Amino acid sequence: METEKIIYLTAHALGIDPKGVSARTRLYEDLGADSLAVCRIVVETEELFDVALDMDRFTSDASVGDLVEAVLEARNLE
């Protein structure tokens, strides 16, 4: 469930079709996101799932799956 929500959120933030996004899709390289777009995606994800995420985790090779994993880890820490 988290994966589908994050895929939709990511696609919406970047103005692309969610059908072209999967957990393995890399934010920067595959989707062409810049650091500002990734920051916005992370902030929106934090708000959607009511968690705090470490921005440093989302470097140039980060994927949508990494974002899902970070949400799941943050929920387990609460």
Q: CATH no. for residue 24?
A: 1.10.1200.10
Catalytic residues: 34
CA distance linking residue 47 with residue 29, whole number of Å: 25
pLDDT value for 39: 96
Range of the domain at 60: 2-77
Domain count of the chain? 1
How much is the pTM?
0.91
CA distance linking residue 66 with residue 78, whole number of Å: 19
Query: For residue 23, what are its two tokens?
Result: 């957990």
Q: If DSSP codes are grouped into helix, strand and coil, which group holds residue 63?
A: strand
Q: If DSSP codes are grouped into helix, strand and coil, which group holds residue 28?
A: coil
Q: Over its length of 78 residues, how does the chain's per-residue pLDDT go in tens digits?
A: 899 999 999 999 999 999 999 999 999 999 999 999 999 999 999 999 999 999 999 988 999 999 999 999 998 875
pLDDT value for 76: 87
